[in-house]
Chain A
């Protein structure tokens, strides 16, 4: 397709990279990435991927911006309170880069709708805040063979892993099934250092771009954990699990199902 003069200037710091170049930037511009959840993780990922010129970015979220979001969800501003998150996120991404197409989905992903959404995309970023959604994304990406980045943050900790479905360790290889209700606290209950979302969400965006360009070594088969207080990153190697209920030797999960919504009461945690 060729880059316009403006594009060459806009993306010059990419193009100058030997491993990216004009061809790599064109590849980014013709790529499609889906961000599920326009929250803490989705915010930095969305902003950086828009800036990078990812040609089509999808955002899925059903919520509206709330005052308590603003401590970490940097794509939303104070005057966005009450606005749909997808709309607020779309506005910022368009403001950064009018060059790209944004598709918005005002919904929550479920077993019925997720496949139709994700199969349009080259890579998925899981920026959701609950376990049923995280397991659903893992399963749907497996059945539709879409690579994705899983991540989670809590208190002063974050973790992420990239999954090439059917090829590398998946979320269910590590965690068989969602935790029961009242078992694991959420950020609203246990808190989270806002900047953690920036660190981990930006790493997810990095993985997306590496995947799109076929660059370097993806964070597959390895859970990267970050402890902000100890300033410690650890890469924990995790082999595929032959007992994985999804991608193991005798899979018990053969179709998409919604996992029960887990609600945690902090008194029981």
Chain B
């Protein structure tokens, strides 16, 4: 089935959970990523149990700290 992950059409196997998608998409440090599913931020505790559906829109959002004041 097809998903849109960070704006890109992505084909995945049926029944994949959000946690499994993070692994499949090679997301480093998945514990540090916020996930938006169809316009709503998904609680981290729901990653394991949330099964993705055809045409879901998923955004991986990453922490970005720098204003780079300190060396």
Chain A interface (Cβ < 8 Å from any Cβ of B): 37-42, 61, 63, 66, 68-69, 72-73, 85, 126-131, 134, 151-154, 157-159, 173-176, 179, 183-184, 186-188, 192, 197, 201, 223, 234, 236-239, 241, 243, 269
Contact = CB atoms under 8 A, between A and B. Distances in A.
Contact of A37 (B34, B39, B64, B69): B69
Given A237-B39, A238-B41, A239-B40, A184 B65 contact: yes
B69 A85 contact: yes
Contacts of B32: 179, 183-184
B49 to A, nearest CB: 16
A243 B35 CA distance: 14
Contact of A173 (B41, B64, B71): B41
A151 B67 contact: yes
A153 B66 contact: yes
B14 to A, nearest CB: 26
Contacts of A61: 69
B69 A39 contact: yes
Task: List the 4 closest pairs (A to B, CB-CB), nearest first.
Answer: A39-B69, A152-B64, A40-B68, A187-B66
Contacts of B70: 39, 63, 129-130, 186, 188
A184 B39 contact: no
Given A41-B67, A176-B34, A184-B63, 13 more contacts: A39-B67, A69-B71, A85-B69, A129-B66, A129-B69, A130-B70, A154-B64, A186-B66, A186-B68, A187-B65, A188-B71, A236-B59, A236-B61
Contact of B68 (A41, A85, A237): A41
Interface of B: 6-7, 29, 31-32, 34, 36, 39-41, 43-44, 59, 61-71
Contacts of A176: 34, 44
A154 B65 contact: yes
9 contacts: A41-B68, A128-B69, A131-B63, A152-B65, A174-B41, A188-B71, A243-B41, A243-B43, A269-B29
A175 B68 contact: no
Contacts of A236: 36, 59, 61
Scoring A37, A66, A238 by chain B CB atoms within 10 A of each residue's CB, the highest score goes to A238
B43 to A, nearest CB: 6
A238 B67 contact: no
Contacts of B62: 157, 159
A131 B65 contact: yes
Nearest to B63: A184
Contacts of A157: 62, 64
Given A39-B70, A183-B31, A243-B43, A130 B65 contact: yes
A175 B70 CA distance: 22
B6 A234 contact: yes
A69 B67 CA distance: 11
B71 A175 contact: no
B61 A39 contact: no
A127 B69 contact: yes
Scoring B32, B41, B65 by chain A CB atoms within 10 A of each residue's CB, the highest score goes to B65
Contacts of A223: 61
